[in-house]
Amino acid sequence: MKSALHLLEICFILICSILWRIVKLAKICFTIIINKVKSKNIKKIMEHQMNKNNFQPNGTQDANTVVLKRGLAQMLKGGVIMDVVTPEQAKIAEDAGACSVMALERVPADIRKNGGVARMSDPSMIEGIIAITTVPVMAKCRIGHYVEARVLEALGVDYIDESEVLTPADEENHVDKRDFKVPFVCGARNLGEALRRINEGAAMIRSKGEAGTGDVVEAVRHARAILGEIRRVHAMNRAELFTYAKEIGAPYHLLEETAELGRLPVVLFAAGGIATPADAALMMEIGVDGVFVGSGIFKSGDPSKRARAIVEATTHFRDYKIIAEVSKNLGEPMVGINISSLPSDQKMAGRGW
């Protein structure tokens, strides 16, 4: 009896020690695995941080590039992007609270007046504006003008506007924007046009409006068209979406994504004809993410004051007392051209395909 108990005791101790060893072994294995994972992490981090500027254009943008290109536009939301033609104007715009400036040689109102071919701006002027401001700098290239876009990218411009305001360089094709590291913004009059531009690689969309007129009616028309179509496709089933994609000439996968999100997959701004704080607030109320103001500021009587007022009205677009307050005594607005009196061959919005 006694020896049997003794045997049991020895067995118990043996089992305990074996269990203890197993636990110890498991612990060691666990630390080895953890360390492996950690070193893998560090290797991953090393690879990323060493190659962070290693962008390889191959037509299929990697997911990270898309996030970065669309991301900068997201930083501009709720803000005002102003057209400027000199470094002094860029300074005035920044001091007024512009979230970005568009560097160009002539504002659309002057392009209209002077006629002729409108091209990319002088690189030295763009460099002068880049040097003086801390906000992102945009610049325009002609529709389809691949090399102007490359030049702007080389100058360090933060966003390129492939713009119908300049004279188109290609009457069939837009620039293949996926091939660039710098992001692009493009104009659109309806959902189909917007999604075609996004398919080409545009990372931001703006309404075309009718630039250089000071008449907001076309910007309203285009923003309402895009946002209204999005509301309609949001309610469609797949069978209807297939047909609708064909009807509006939109890539199906982007139309489906838009329908699911209930908004464009990129930021949407209003542009073309915005001239007063109330115009800017109207566009925000319609549902855009921010506004471009072109000729409206520096073709008016008191650019600095008007610029500030438009910035404030864009932030407080639903606070009508504030809009009333900031709209007081702004001086002469830009003279403006009534769209209905504009011959159709002088309209810019029809450019782009």
Which residues have a catalytic role annotated?
140
- Are the C-beta atoms of residues 225 and 264 closer than 8 Å to each other? no
Q: How far is the CB of 282 from another protein (least distance, A)?
A: 18
Stretch of 5-13, 75-83, 220-228, 295-303 contacting another protein, by CB under 8 A: 75-83
Q: Which of 61, 79, 205, 221 binds another protein (CB under 8 A)?
A: 79
Residue closer to another protein (CB basis): 41 or 243:
41
Smallest CA-to-CA distance from 342 within 161, 156, 212, 233 is with 212
Tell whether residue 74 is a contact of another protein (CB under 8 A): yes
Determine the interface stretch with another protein among 3-11, 63-71, 142-150, 211-219 (rule: CB under 8 A): 63-71
3-class DSSP string for the chain: CHHHHHHHHHHHHHHHHHHHHHHHHHHHHHHHHHHHHHHHHHHHHHHHHHCCCCCCCCCCCCHHHHHHHHHHHHHHCCCEEEEECCHHHHHHHHHHCCCEEEECCCCHHHHHHHCCCCCCCCHHHHHHHHHHCCCCEEEEEECCCHHHHHHHHHHCCCEEEEECCCCCCCCCCCCCHHHCCCCEEEEECCHHHHHHHHHHCCCEEEECCCCCCCCCHHHHHHHHHHHHHHHHHHCCCHHHHHHHHHHHCCCHHHHHHHHHHCCCCCEEEECCCCCCHHHHHHHHHHCCCEEEECHHHHCCCCHHHHHHHHHHHHHCCCCHHHHHHHCCCCCCCCCCCCHHHCCHHHCCCCCCC
User: Terminus-to-terminus CA distance in the chain, angstroms?
Assistant: 100
Under the binding rule (CB under 8 A), the answer on residue 183 touching another protein is yes
Taking the least distance from each CB to another protein, the nearer of 152 and 348 is 152
Q: Does 167 bind another protein (CB under 8 A)?
A: no
Residue with tokens 């994609």: 245
* Cβ nearer to another protein, comparing 182 with 334: 182
100 in contact with another protein (CB under 8 A): yes
Binding of another protein at residue 158 (CB under 8 A)? yes
Q: Does 143 bind another protein (CB under 8 A)?
A: no
Provide the minimum distance between the beta carbon of 81 and another protein in the complex, in angstroms, as a whole number.
10
Nearest residue to 312 via CA among 343, 347, 276, 266: 276
Residue from 72, 132, 151, 236 that binds another protein (CB under 8 A)? Answer: 72
Total residues contacting another protein (rule CB under 8 A)? Answer: 46
Q: Select the span of 5-13, 49-57, 205-213, 279-287 touching another protein (CB under 8 A).
A: 49-57
By C-alpha distance, which of 322, 324, 279, 320 is closest to 297? 279
Cβ nearer to another protein, comparing 32 with 46? 46
Query: Binding to another protein by residue 319, rule CB under 8 A?
Result: yes
Among 7, 10, 75, 131, binds another protein (CB under 8 A): 75
Please report whether residue 95 would count as binding another protein according to CB under 8 A: yes
Cβ at position 325, least distance to another protein in Å: 11
Tokens, residue 175:
């620039």
Nearer to another protein, 130 or 226 (CB): 130
* Footprint (CB under 8 A) of another protein, residues 17-46: 37, 41, 44-46
Binding mask 217-256 for another protein (x = CB under 8 A): ----------------------------------------
Can you give the binding site for another protein, defined by CB under 8 A? 37, 41, 44-46, 48-49, 52-53, 55, 64, 67-68, 71-72, 74-79, 94-100, 130, 134-136, 153, 156-159, 181-183, 308, 311-312, 315-316, 319
